[in-house]
Structure formats: C-alpha cells, structure tokens
Chain A
Amino acid sequence: MPLDQSFEGRVYPPTQPYEVGREKIREFADAIGDDNPVYRDQAAAKALGYSDVIAPPTFPIVMSMRAAAQVIRDPEFGLDYSKVVHGEQRFSYTRPIQAGDLLQVTVRVESVRVAAGNDLITTRGDITTLDGELVVTAYSTLVARGTAAVGTEAAGAES
C-alpha cells in the first residue's frame, strides 16, 4: 500500500510534557552499558557545570520515537510497521537533556518518499521546554522494506 504523500509537511501539536527523571536516565545508561558517572551522580554532573545529572546523547529517542508514533502508527498514513527498520538518525543539540527537565516534542513530517522499492519517511521532532527553549532536534528516517511496489526485492541494507 502506498504511503499517503499528503502527510508531508504536516505538523502535529506538542506532545504531553515528559518529565525527565534521574532513575530513568540511570536505567537508560545501564541499558546501553555506559557507566559514566555524569549520568548517575549529581556531584559528577556538578563538577562538569550541570545542575543535575545529564542524559546520554541518544536519550532523546525515548521522547521523539513516542511522538513520531502519532504519524507512524496512523492507519491512514499506510505504513506497514511490521516491515519498518531504522534508516537514519540525527540529533542536533542546544544542550544536553538533564534530570528535572519537563519537555514536549513537536513533530513535523519532513518527507515521504520511495527509494529502491522501499517506503521512506523522515520526521523531525523539536524537543523543547514548556517555555519553548529548544533543547534538541531529532531527525529520524524509517524504512518500510519492500513495501513500495509488489514483487520488489527488499533492499536489506538498513538496520
């Protein structure tokens, strides 16, 4: 099923606020196997000039992926989620996320396209404080393998 091209350019309302907790940061750091004390120990974070523990660079995905689900999981968009793999990811930071942040994500559908028999969608998530301070922007490209045309071999080159 082709993706609905009219979704391109669509901007969604900001998500419900996400409160960044110290234990969530610790859990995430544990899961990626990173024992850096700046993710766990307030004294270590303060020694680097932060007011509380900071989150690892890829932590924003916890918020941005959930926010992008508004479009990815929308049946009207037509993405076959069972065939979806992650194609590309980029984070552009103003500052690191830190414990105590109350953040919201504003999602924009950057592009909807077809390449080598795969459907591709790129979303942009601006992660801001409730006052509108931009903390980080997350760009995600998802690939639905072999869904763009019947009988097309899946490219298989994405993770």
Chain B
Amino acid sequence: MSLRFADVSVGAPLPTQTFPIERGTLIRYAGASGDFNPIHWNEQTAVAVGLPDVIAHGMLTMAMAVRVVTDWVGDPGAVLDYQVRFSRPVVVASDAPTPLQVSAVVRSMHEADHTAEIQLTASVLDQTVLAKARVRVRLAP
C-alpha cells in the first residue's frame, strides 16, 4: 500500500536511516551489478588514481539512500523519478564499516497527480556525499 496523499505534508521529515558499508558490501555489489571497477575493491588502484582508499560504488550509495523513501511510501514502484549528484566519495576502509546516514524531507506536493517531491540528505560522519538528491513519488489518492 502506498502512503495516502492526505497523510503527507510539506516539510514533514521521513524516518532517518543509517546503512553500514563494508568492503564485503562492495564486493557483493560489484558482483550483483556487474561494476567491477577496481577502485571499489583494490586499495592500490584507488590510491594510484588519487583516492584516499577504496570507495563505494556511487550506485550503491544511491541504492541505499532511496530506501528512506521506498520504506516510507510502501511501494517502491511508486518512485517516478530519482536523481543524485555524487559530490564526495564514500571511502570504505578495510577494518571498519562506513556508516551512511540518510535523512529526507518532503519539499513539495502536487494535488493534481498526487505526487510529492522528496529531498534526500546522505552523509558520512557529517559530510554530505550526495548533492541534488531528489525523488518524485506517487502517493495514493
């Protein structure tokens, strides 16, 4: 069931979630997505191209961030549009998980087609990693 339009209001926050990312998470995502770029699993390659360490796939960050919206709205198929800019790499060390914290707020609502626009904020240790992160969803009438 999708959330009802009448039960949502502009400015309302969505429940915040934190997603831990480990090296193993990146290996698994590489396999499932087919993105085997070594900067996501090989430290030497990452450092050689000027990164501090292995970084998470931007698409993994994007996949996790939208959970805040899909868990809230109920039906992931209600997502009509989703866009992000990857503003800072999510560094994943070999010895500790990186906590990706995601919060969201309703930016605008459109009565005519029962849609809402959600602004996402994704950060690691208080540094934002996504910019322009917006989701448009269809709500139940």
Contact = CB atoms under 8 A, between A and B. Distances in A.
Interface in B17-63: 19, 25, 28-29, 31-35, 37, 39, 45, 49-50, 55-63
Nearest to B31: A31
Nearest to A156: B50
Nearest to A96: B77
A85 B86 contact: yes
Given A88-B86, A145-B50, A31 B58 contact: no
Interface residues on B, range: 35 or more
A50 B64 contact: no
Given A31-B33, A159-B55, A38 B85 contact: no
Contacts of B35: 61, 65
Contacts of B58: 85-86, 89, 159
Nearest to A84: B37
B33 A61 contact: yes
Given A32-B29, A38-B75, A96-B77, A87 B63 contact: no
Nearest to A90: B83
Interface centre among B1, B62, B71 (most CB of A within 10 A): B62
B99 interface: no
A146 B50 contact: yes
The dominant DSSP class at the A interface is: mixed
Contact of A56 (B37, B55, B76, B86): B76
A87 B61 CA distance: 12
9 contacts: A31-B31, A32-B29, A34-B70, A54-B77, A85-B58, A85-B86, A92-B80, A157-B88, A159-B88
Interface of B: 1, 19, 25, 28-29, 31-35, 37, 39, 45, 49-50, 55-64, 66-67, 70-71, 74-77, 79-90, 129, 132
Interface of A: 27-28, 30-34, 36, 38-39, 48, 50, 54, 56-58, 61-62, 65-66, 81-93, 95-96, 139, 145-146, 154, 156-159
Given A61-B59, A89-B62, 5 more contacts: A36-B71, A38-B76, A57-B79, A88-B84, A156-B89
